Structure 1
Amino acid sequence: MYRLLLADDSYDQREVIKYFLSQHEKEWLIEEAKNGREAWQLFQEQPFDLIITDVKMPFMDGHALVARIKEAVPEIPVMFISGFEDFHYVKKAIQLQAVDYLLKPIDPDDFYEQINKIILFIDQQKQRAYTKTIAQTHYLKEILSKLFYGYPWHSLPKEEQSIAQDFFKTHPSFFLVTWPLDSWNAQDFVPSLSAAFPEMFSLFLAPAQLLFFNEPLPKREIEERKNNLTTYFSEQFQQKITLFDSGPVPHHSGVYGTYHDLLRTSQRSFYQQNKGKICQLLPGDHYIVKKALFEKTVSYVNQYESKKAHALVKTVFDCFETNGREEPTNAKFYFATFYQTIIDQCTITFDAECGANQIGKILEAPSLQLIADIFDALFHYIHDALLQINGSQSNDYVRQVKSYIFAHFHQELSLERLAKEVNINPNYLSELFSTSEGMGITKYIKSYRIKQAQKRLKNSNCSIRTISKQVGFNHYSYFCKTFREIVGMTPDAYRKRGPSC
């Protein structure tokens, strides 16, 4: 779409030009003025791509109007339309760098020929302006990146200092956002963020920070902008973020110090302080050493030594907590990878959907302690599963079936489904299982589900009806009946008795 300012004291002449443009292939947004003074007022209020003006108009003629416009925006194209063929008027138009001078009555072919030339000129102008803006933005981001990576202010060339000073005058504060490495690529999202928040200048700092700069705004509007950004990340990228606000930076030479203060703030909000322990192993050692811990942990689990595996993982958490220097985003990505490695490589069967949910919680965790709690729950599950597998002289088929039950007890289970998992006849599996465990598969599943329900009744605030579904009972009344048969009391009575039960 092209924006046109049309100035002519003749209503009929304006209608003719508007009609010509309505037949043109391009779309036009036209503002009309009956004289030069009205046109000048409109020009000051909004941008235009092209000016078409009559020469003789009341209050201010076309030449005076264009002289003012050219002084303000020299490159804007102008077309004069006049009933005067006198050389004096044509000469003035040339001096004002008009694109063309058409005589009334306007010939449509001449008009369209000139309009097409002007459109080409406007497009070239816009492309040059866009290229220049991109180059200037890229140059500005290079300068800002230097400062935020710690390049001394006094070492910047004078030109770069001047550009940075001008920028910080109009953008005196910024937000810091951090995220887990590789959980999503910030560079892929910057264009959509720029489109959604065109008023904010953004800067990506590898490997895991994104800065949003603010123009001077009241505190209320700053808070509103923070809320809008947080909501946008959640809805568009499914990412829960925490924004750290720099507040007004006292001096442009101090942006690096302000930035690092925010990074320390983000770390303090993630790690607990004053642990009073010294540990040399992690973090800070090479990443391969950290990866070797994954393999060692999995090896312990697969050798049925879950307590050793759990103790090793607790040591890793203590190392991160004590050191406190690892970026929270890096720490979250590290432990998410650790969790994924355990559930992928251990011989115990894990529910894939549940594992994915837990990994999501790790990546969004506001503190290291919450991640440690997730790992504690994982190793409690592993310990229980290994106890169940090793607690009898079950043959391989029975061990596989029990492992599958432990991982999928909340799903619909049947003898046929379990037999299919181990690829044997259902009747044969039933006989093997009864001989090994002293009870049938159906009773075993019910007993295990009730055991899981007991844990949830003690350790969660979920409703009893919700817990019944979580452990695999489709009918609440049947759950209550089964619970009473096995435990000797109702679920509600069991919960009220508390941990001593």
Structure 2
Amino acid sequence: MYRILIVDDEKDERNVIRFLLNKYHFQLDIIESNNGKEALTQLEKQTIDILFTDIKMPFIDGIELATRARELYPTIQTIFFTGHDDFDFVKKALSLRAVDYILKPVKPDEFQNTLCSVIQNIKNSEKKQAQIEANTELLKTHILNRLINKAPMEKLNNEYPSIDFAFLNDYSHMILMQFDEPFFDRLPKERDTLYFYQQIKEAIPNFSCDFIDLNPFQILLLVKKNKDTIFTTKRLETRIHKQIHGKYGINCLISISTELSSPSEMPQIFEKLEKDIEDRFFYSDSYVYPKDKTLSENIESPETDDDLLQTIQNAIKFADIVSFRKNMNLLFEKYRSNLDISHIYVRFLFSKLLQMLCQNLHIYDKKTINKTMEAIYSCHHFSDIEEILISVQNEITKRLEEEKKSPKHVIQIVKQYIHEHYQEDLSLNLLSEQVYLTPGYLSEIFIEETGCGINKYIKNLRMELAKDLLHRTNMKVNDICQTVGYHNLSYFVRSFREHFGASPEKYRQLERKMKENS
């Protein structure tokens, strides 16, 4: 509700204005003052949208009051009503950007028309300001998106001179959330996405953050600094995961950064967040990253050891050298510093590991295997056992390197599949099945060969295809959305804006305008 301040030293005049406001059903919060001095006090105490003031009043006249009001509220709508109709007054009113002036006695029709015009002015101004703020927020999101993708700060400053880059200093941490299914593209309406954001905010008291939709699988939260909130990483991660699981019945992987010291380190920190989440292929029972290694070192359950052995066996089967080395190292690290485990169990476990390794690749004959097992049972220190197994590991790694497919060839097959099936749902699991590799290994070699992750590659391809269709065809945006593999129009439009800095329709208009001018 807008607020109007009626200022006149004649109570009857104020009553007439109040009567007309009620008669024409203007929904306004009405405040009265009987002189300019009292009105100025009211202006300083609370926000006023419309100033309806007489000219000649004691203490402070209407002209001075309007001047002071304009200093306090640059967008205030001022209406003078006076018994004087002269040229000097009109000039002064116009210089103060008064909306109108009404002569006494007030004519009801003129009053109604003037108030309607004033209220419409306020609404138009609010709408314009909201659009400016929305465009600014969009640009900020676009800048953040480009920044984490390693666009230089100097280049961004030159491209967006109207943006105050100080907002980048508002963030204390970055949180990467990832789903194994295209969750965000499945939210049916824009408000459902906003509701999802609200759920995250409600999970943590006094928690404030901005969001970047990276792709249908990932979202990046940029946590704002708050000196009144104790930022406990483990508690934050647990609450977010619990809130999302409770509302949607799904799990998400969460990777959280250390405290930011400078916006310039955002690209490197984001890269680390993605790398930490890649560990999900080695810690299938966890959703919070980076993994607390002290936990894995202190686990003593033989069942967990069996899981590690199975993972190592699968790595050999799929020629996944990264996973093989990773899990071998996990097993070594677990017992390298754990002095409470029985020596007998340690010898039994690593003898079992030796048998499994040799059986899978047939690198040793039976006699050599038995001799090596005897050596393991004769070791007095774990470092000696580790040395024996590392030697076997090196033999197996050499064999795997000889047998595995060429990474370049594998990546070419994956790229070709993506280009042929970009209209369909594409996931890391699906793509890894096409080349008979584990998701973790495929993700690793894809980044090594292309310099970017698979999800980012898919999004970039779809965005470029959408841009090309906007440029070459007259297809509707909704049809383009479906053609390039998106199911949700609002999500597609938002992703396009964040990628190119303009909505699809706006981009098409700019392209056509440039073509006409060339």
Higher RCO, Cα 8 Å, sep 6+: 2
Q: What TM-score results when the alignment is normalised by the length of structure 1?
A: 0.50
TM-score, normalised via structure 2 length: 0.48
- Give the greater-gyration-radius structure (CA): 1
